[in-house]
C-alpha cells in the first residue's frame, strides 16, 4: 500500500466521513451545495443518498453508528465478529456481539472512495490471495489484514457449499490473523427433511461456538427481541416489494441496495426498521401519485446476480437518469414465506416462530439457509428452488422487460453456470445480457464501458423501442 494510505485507520476514516455526512444532511440547501464543491471524492454518492430524503439520511446515520460500534467495541467490553454478507447479523446482536460484515464494508468503500480500494484489493494478493479471488471480500479485508482496521475477535463464515472463493477468504483471514473460526455449511438441497435437520444441527453448533467465544449463554429475552424486530422488518420489506410490482414502479431503484444493506447490517435491530419505515412512506406516496420511484419509467430491469457499487454509484445514477426501474437482484430476495415472490412456493421460505427458544433458533437457522446466494446457487442452476426458478419467478412477478447478469470475476460458481442460465432465460422469453464488469473492482471493466453495453443491448434488441441512453 502507498505510504499515505497506511497513515489512516480505515474504520475511523469511514466513520468520520459518515459522521460528517450526517451533519451535512441537517444543513441548509446553500450550505449543502457549498460543501459539495469541496468534497469531490464523495460528492456524487452523498448527493445520490440525499435525494432519497429521510430514508437515505437514516441509512447514513445508522451506518455511522455501525462503524462507531466497531470502533468503540473493546472500550465497551464487547467482542467483534467478522461475518460474511450471506450470514444474518441478527444472531450476533442476540449475543451482544458487534458484527463486522466484510462485503457490506466493501460496498461502502467502493461507492465512496476513488482511491485506496485498489491498494486494498492488491494487498490481499500480496499476502497470499490469488488475483482471481473474489473482490467482494478483498476490498475490506485488505485493511484488516494490514492492521489498518479493527481486528476481529472471531470469524463466522457461511459459504462452504456455496462459494469456495468466499469460504477460502475467511479461512485465510482466520489463519493469517490467528483468530477462532466457525463455518456453516450447506447441502445441495433446501427443503427435504435431511437438509432441514442438517441446517438445524449446523446452526446449533455455531451457537455453541458463539457461547464459547463470548462466555455467554443464549439470552432468551434478547433473542426474542431480535426476532420480533426481524418480523417487523420482513413485513415492511414484503410490502415494499409488493409495491414494486406496480407499473410504473414507485420504488426508487436504490432502495434495492437499502434492503440488502438492512438485511446484512441491521437485521433484528431498530435502526433497520427505522430506515424501512421511511422507505415505505416514500413508496406509498409515489404509488398514490402514480409516479415512478426514479421519476420516469421507460424500462424495467431485473439483475439476476448482484449490482455494481464502484465509482460514486454511477451505475445507480445512470439507471435513474435513463428511466430504467431497478426491480431487484438475487441479493434483494431473502425468501420470507410471506414475500410476494414466495406465494405458491411458501415451503421454500422461512417463518419466524417466537413461541420458544428452540423455535426461534430453528427460525434463524431457516433464515440463514435462505440468504441470497445461499439459496440460489448451492446446487445446479436449474434444480428446483435454485437460481433459474427464482430468477424467472421474480422476473414474471415484477414484469421485467430485460434481465442482466453482473457479479465479480472471482465468483467461479456463477460464472460456471451463467451462460446456461442465460440461455434458458432467453428460451423463456426474456432478453438477457451477461456483463463482464466486476461489482467492486472498476479496473476489470470501466463503468462507462459496461453501461454502454447495456445501452447497446437495449437498442439492438429494440426493447420497448429503446432509442439510446442519456449520458449527460
Q: State whether 89 and 177 are in the same domain.
A: yes
List all residues 6 or more positions away from 238 whose beta carbon is below 8 Å from its beta carbon: 336, 338, 339, 340
* Sequential DSSP letters for 211-226: HHHHT----HHHHHHH
Q: State whether 290 and 303 are in the same domain.
A: no
Residue 352 located in a structural domain: no
d(C-alpha 295, C-alpha 386), whole Å: 34
Q: 257 is in which domain, residue-wise?
A: 219-295
Other C-beta atoms within 10 Å of 439: how many? 28
Region label for 373, one of left (φ > 0), alpha (ψ between -120 and 50) or beta (otherwise): left
Angstrom distances, CA of residue 303 to CA of 159, 293, 395, 470: 21, 17, 9, 20
Residue 341 located in a structural domain: no
Please report the pLDDT score of residue 247 as a whole number.
97
d(C-alpha 169, C-alpha 174), whole Å: 9
d(C-alpha 420, C-alpha 358), whole Å: 41
Residue 83 located in a structural domain: yes
Please report the pLDDT score of residue 4 as a whole number.
67
Residue 127 located in a structural domain: yes
Residue 172 located in a structural domain: yes
Final residue in a domain of this structure, among 168, 186, 204: 186
Q: Is 440 helix (H, G, I), strand (E, B) or coil?
A: coil
* Sequential DSSP letters for 203-272: HHHHHHHHHHHHT----HHHHHHHHHHHHHHHHHHHHHHHHTTSSS--S-TTHHHHHHHHHHHSTTSHHH
Q: State whether 234 and 250 are in the same domain.
A: yes
C-alpha cell at 150: 479493527
Residue 356 located in a structural domain: no
**376 neighbors 348 (Cβ within 8 angstroms):** no
Residue 467 located in a structural domain: yes
Please report the pLDDT score of residue 383 as a whole number.
93
Please report the pLDDT score of residue 131 as a whole number.
85
Q: State whether 390 and 425 are in the same domain.
A: yes
Q: Give strand pairing partners of 432.
A: 403
Q: State whether 441 and 469 are in the same domain.
A: yes
Per the document, the length of the chain is: 472
Residue 350 located in a structural domain: no
Please report the pLDDT score of residue 412 as a whole number.
86
Q: State whether 305 and 265 are in the same domain.
A: no
Q: State whether 76 and 162 are in the same domain.
A: yes
Give every residue of the chain whose pLDDT is below 70, as ranges: 4, 40-41, 114-115
Q: State whether 471 and 450 are in the same domain.
A: yes
Final residue in a domain of this structure, among 295, 318, 343: 295
If one counts the domains in the chain, the total is 3
Q: State whether 308 and 405 are in the same domain.
A: yes
Q: State whether 311 and 428 are in the same domain.
A: yes
For the question of whether the overall pTM of this predicted structure is more than 0.85, the answer is yes
Final residue in a domain of this structure, among 169, 186, 203: 186
Amino acid at each position: 500500500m502507498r505510504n499515505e494510505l497506511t497513515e489512516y485507520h480505515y474504520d475511523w476514516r469511514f466513520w468520520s466521513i459518515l459522521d460528517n455526512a450526517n451533519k451535512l444532511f441537517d444543513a441548509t440547501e446553500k450550505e449543502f451545495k457549498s460543501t459539495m464543491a469541496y468534497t469531490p471524492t464523495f460528492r456524487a454518492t452523498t448527493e445520490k443518498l440525499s435525494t432519497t430524503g429521510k430514508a437515505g439520511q437514516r441509512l447514513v446515520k445508522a451506518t455511522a453508528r455501525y462503524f462507531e460500534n466497531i470502533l468503540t467495541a473493546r472500550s465497551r467490553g464487547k467482542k467483534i465478529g467478522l461475518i460474511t454478507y450471506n450470514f444474518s447479523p441478527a444472531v450476533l446482536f442476540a449475543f451482544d456481539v458487534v458484527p463486522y460484515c466484510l462485503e457490506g464494508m466493501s460496498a461502502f468503500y467502493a461507492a465512496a472512495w476513488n482511491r485506496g480500494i485498489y491498494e486494498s484489493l492488491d494487498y490481499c494478493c500480496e499476502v497470499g490471495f490469488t488475483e482471481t479471488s473474489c473482490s467482494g471480500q478483498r476490498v475490506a479485508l485488505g485493511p484488516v489484514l494490514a492492521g489498518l482496521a479493527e481486528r476481529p475477535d472471531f470469524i463466522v463464515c457461511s459459504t462452504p457449499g456455496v462459494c469456495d472463493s468466499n469460504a477460502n477468504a475467511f479461512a485465510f483471514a482466520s489463519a493469517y490473523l490467528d483468530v477462532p473460526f466457525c463455518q456453516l455449511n450447506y447441502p445441495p438441497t433446501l427443503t427435504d427433511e435431511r437438509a432441514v435437520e442438517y441446517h438445524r444441527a449446523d446452526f446449533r453448533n455455531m451457537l455453541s461456538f458463539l457461547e464459547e467465544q463470548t462466555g455467554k449463554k443464549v439470552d432468551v429475552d434478547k433473542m426474542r427481541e431480535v426476532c420480533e424486530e426481524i418480523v417487523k422488518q420482513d413485513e415492511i420489506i414484503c410490502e415494499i416489494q409488493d409495491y414494486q410490482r406496480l407499473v410504473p414502479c414507485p420504488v426508487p431503484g436504490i432502495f434495492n441496495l437499502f434492503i440488502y444493506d438492512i438485511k446484512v447490517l441491521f437485521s433484528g435491530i431498530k435502526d433497520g426498521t427505522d430506515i424501512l419505515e421511511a422507505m415505505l412512506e416514500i413508496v406509498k406516496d409515489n404509488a398514490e401519485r402514480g409516479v415512478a420511484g426514479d421519476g420516469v419509467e421507460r424500462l424495467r430491469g431485473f439483475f439476476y446476480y448482484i449490482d455494481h457499487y464502484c465509482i460514486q454509484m454511477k451505475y445507480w445514477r445512470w439507471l435513474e437518469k435513463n428511466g430504467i426501474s431497478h426491480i431487484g437482484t438475487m441479493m434483494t430476495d431473502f425468501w420470507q414465506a410471506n414475500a410476494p415472490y414466495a406465494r405458491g412456493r411458501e415451503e421454500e421460505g422461512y417463518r419466524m416462530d417466537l413461541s420458544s427458544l428452540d423455535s426461534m433458533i430453528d427460525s434463524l437457522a431457516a433464515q440463514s439457509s435462505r440468504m441470497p446466494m445461499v439459496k440460489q446457487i448451492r446446487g445446479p442452476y436449474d434444480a428446483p428452488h435454485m437460481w433459474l426458478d427464482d430468477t424467472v419467478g421474480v422476473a414474471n412477478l415484477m414484469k421485467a422487460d430485460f434481465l442482466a447478469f453482473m457479479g465479480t470475476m472471482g465468483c467461479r460458481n456463477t460464472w460456471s453456470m451463467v451462460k446456461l442460465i442465460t440461455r434458458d432465460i432467453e428460451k423463456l422469453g426474456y432478453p438477457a445480457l451477461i456483463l463482464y464488469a466486476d461489482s467492486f473492482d472498476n479496473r476489470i471493466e470501466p463503468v462507462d464501458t459496461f453501461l454502454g453495453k447495456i445501452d447497446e443491448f437495449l437498442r439492438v434488441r429494440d426493447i420497448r423501442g429503446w432509442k439510446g441512453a442519456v449520458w449527460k
